[in-house]
A and B are shown apart, each in its own frame.
Chain A
Amino acid sequence: MNPSGEGRVTSTADIDAAASPRENTRFKDKKDETVISVSGLTPSAARYSRLFDVLVVAAVVTIFAGAIHLHVMLTVGDWDMYVDWKDRQYWPLVMPVSMIMFPAALQAIFWVNFRLPIGATVGATVLLIATWIGRYANWWIWTGFPFTEGVPSQALAGALLMDMTLIVLRNSLFTSIIGGFAFGFVFWPSNYSALAPFYLPVEHQGMVASLADMIGYTFPRSNMPEYLRIIERGTLRTFGSSVSWVSAAFAGFICIFMHQLWWRLGLFASQATFLKNSDVVKSFMGIKSSVAS
């Protein structure tokens, strides 16, 4: 197997040549039957492998939903947590840089080991589902905050583009350069579509505020004073009101490197490595040491 995941289909004729339909493997597509056939699994083993698939999917969904959600909450929590933190400079920058990590690692694991171009999409999907569960359970049921205050971001657009780049180019480096950049770059426009109403202007106490500002102000987070929000501090003003696109482009640039780094971390983490037990450890497990035996 090519460890970096590069490779191309040579001919579909091989598929037909290798096809040897087996019975009762639950896959009706001829190509799927071919895969089962070439894999060497018996019909019974193929059926159990499908059960194994279900278990793996369940495990991946639950484990990574929790892991990615925790990771995002710990690294960029407030930016994703509150609608009045979703500014046009830092939010489009910090969110994708953090959000790309697990999807990139999952993409590497799924692609290199199974040639499945779905890792990034899986990561972004389970993250969004877990986030909404958190918003509903923690923010609404438990503490009574209105949903509008905790509308989350989504990274699905970028994740899908990253997976599409992978299946078309089948190269981790080019996926980093094009897919990674796309992940960071489309974060702002793909989320602005959903959140645009929250930036409508209102007049409050003689000052202009966005609806997002008003939501955060009206429904108090007791220990979240206004000064904690990090809103457009820096020197990107040269670009006038286009500051978001500058942030988006910079996010894309950073995501190139983040993707490659986490792709490699994903591969490293998915290695099955066995260490030889020492005699002491063996003795703990009731195994006689080689010296004693």
Chain B
Amino acid sequence: MLLKLIKFAAVCVAFIAGVSHAAAHGERAQEPYLRTRTVQFYDVHFSKTDVKVNERFELTGKFRLMQDWPDAVTPPDIVFLSSISPGPTIARVETYLNGEPARQSFAGLELGRDYEFRMVLEGRTPGSSHIHPSISIKGSGPLVGPGQWVNISGEAHSFAFPIKTMTGLQIEDLQTFGLAHAVGWHLAWLAVAAAWLSFWLARPLILPRWLVLQKGREDLLISLRDTGAGIIVAAIVLVMVFGGYVRASAEYPYNVPLQSGLNRVAPLPASPAYVEIKVISATYDVPGRSMRLATQITNKGSEPLSIGELTTANIRFLNQSLPVAMADVDPSYPRDLIARTGLKLSSDTPINPGETKEVRVEATDAVWELERLVSFLTDVDSKFGGLLLLYAPNGERVIAEMGGPIVPVFTELK
């Protein structure tokens, strides 16, 4: 028997010891249509990936709200800019959307337009945290941008978040302010409750009282002294309730209610140069892990344009033969979201102004599988979406939305 118990305990210990912390947030579990056809993040930049506790860093970038917004997702009528982290391992200091303060939600964002965000964050909990920008959409939930590992060093207890109130009160740490006051009140209430309960628990309790009550002798169980004690406790409670309220009101006369509301912000100015992309056909080679697109691209700008990148669901397929596209990759961008094999094109020659050109685009990489994106083939509308980034000789970048139905191809590997 003892041996069995020891074995059982050993199994329990081994199980508990083997449990590791959650490293990420299940972003790959989000359905592909959510990640490829709603919010496309680009130009995401982490100012630092190694910070100390209490050290600030910035997370900046832009996103496009896709014109071909899926029916299954609530339109972005009310959105909130946020960061996603494994718990509050970081503190959020300031957030901006197109330069406007983003502490509250925004209404009326426009599909097909771009927005720029900036978040000032601060290291809080030591360790390695996977940090994402995210756009939460009322009715649909958070849509996450590319996640980067941020290493936070230092001691957790050294974190403090000082803040000054409008009444001039300097608070040393927002994590602990007011806590002792609240706990003190709770303990006071528990003390009164404990006194009242002890008053009754010290007496014969369950069986004797039940038996006496069965015999019709209620008069033995509740006396006038008990009633008097009840009246006294009631008086104490009322004094505590209303005395405490009056005192709190006097001590904090300039309190404000919780703040909530919607802000509005205009999108970024539309680019004067633009292209139109028509997807003639789109296939996904399942065993080959390759998306193949036949496109018809019309350059409606005044400069010749070269295809530099296809980005969707935060994964970047780069035209590795175009230096300007390669130079556009931020060093802080998560490397696991950059496809190693890049983007293959049927033609590398630029698309001249006014020209309409048919280009076959091939994005092949195991990252489709790793990011669990191939399940878009089982979506109810089997469509894909993404952004095509094109570059002019002067370095100007044009971002064009593309998308449409996609057909799976189950060819065998040879």
Enumerate chain A interface residues (CB-CB to B < 8 A): 1, 7-12, 14-15, 18, 27, 29, 31-32, 34-36, 38-41, 46, 49-50, 52-53, 56-57, 84-88, 113-118, 121-122, 124-125, 128-129, 132, 143-148, 151, 154, 156-157, 159-161, 163-165, 167-168, 170, 186, 189-190, 192-215, 217-223, 225-229, 231-232
Contact = CB atoms under 8 A, between A and B. Distances in A.
A201 B105 contact: no
Contacts of A151: 178-179, 182
Contacts of B226: 117, 167
Given A128-B189, A148-B178, 20 more contacts: A14-B217, A53-B201, A114-B209, A118-B197, A124-B193, A125-B190, A128-B190, A144-B87, A144-B124, A157-B240, A164-B233, A168-B230, A199-B252, A210-B257, A211-B178, A214-B174, A218-B174, A220-B83, A220-B92, A227-B80
Given A35-B204, A154-B186, A193-B245, A218 B92 contact: yes
Given A144-B88, A200-B255, A213-B259, A205 B94 contact: yes
Interface of B: 25, 78, 80, 82-85, 87-94, 96, 101, 103-105, 124-125, 134, 136, 138, 141-142, 156, 161, 163-167, 169, 171, 174-179, 181-182, 184-186, 189-190, 192-194, 196-197, 200-201, 203-224, 226-227, 230-231, 233-234, 237-238, 240-242, 244-245, 247-249, 251-252, 254-260, 262
Contacts of A85: 258
A112 B230 CA distance: 18
Contact of B244 (A53, A159, A189, A204): A189
A222 B82 contact: yes
Nearest to A166: B230
A210 B257 CA distance: 7
Contacts of B245: 189-190, 192-193
A251 B233 CA distance: 23
A211 B134 CA distance: 24
19 contacts: A12-B224, A40-B211, A115-B213, A144-B124, A146-B174, A147-B176, A159-B193, A161-B238, A170-B222, A189-B241, A190-B241, A200-B165, A201-B256, A205-B103, A207-B101, A210-B255, A226-B105, A231-B259, A231-B260
Contacts of B216: 1
Given A18-B220, A160-B193, A57 B174 contact: no
Contacts of B238: 161
B197 A125 contact: yes
A137 B101 CA distance: 34
A88 B85 CA distance: 30
B255 to A, nearest CB: 4
Contact of B257 (A49, A88, A217): A88
A101 to B, nearest CB: 18
A122 B197 contact: yes
B186 to A, nearest CB: 6
A215 B176 CA distance: 10
Nearest to A129: B190
Give the 8 A-B residue pairs with the shortest CB-CB distance, closest first: A193-B244, A205-B101, A225-B80, A146-B175, A225-B136, A231-B260, A194-B185, A197-B178
A148 B192 CA distance: 24
A217 B103 contact: yes
A56 B240 contact: no
Interface hub of A115, A189, A211 (most chain B Cβ within 10 A): A115
What is the predominant secondary structure among interface residues of chain A facing chain B? helix
B205 A157 contact: no
B177 A157 contact: no
A189 B242 CA distance: 7
A36 B215 CA distance: 12
A205 B101 CA distance: 6
Contacts of A10: 219
Nearest to B256: A201
Nearest to A222: B84
A195 B138 CA distance: 29
A229 B103 contact: no
Contacts of B219: 8-12, 14-15
Contact of B82 (A125, A208, A225): A225
Nearest to A215: B174
A1 B214 contact: yes
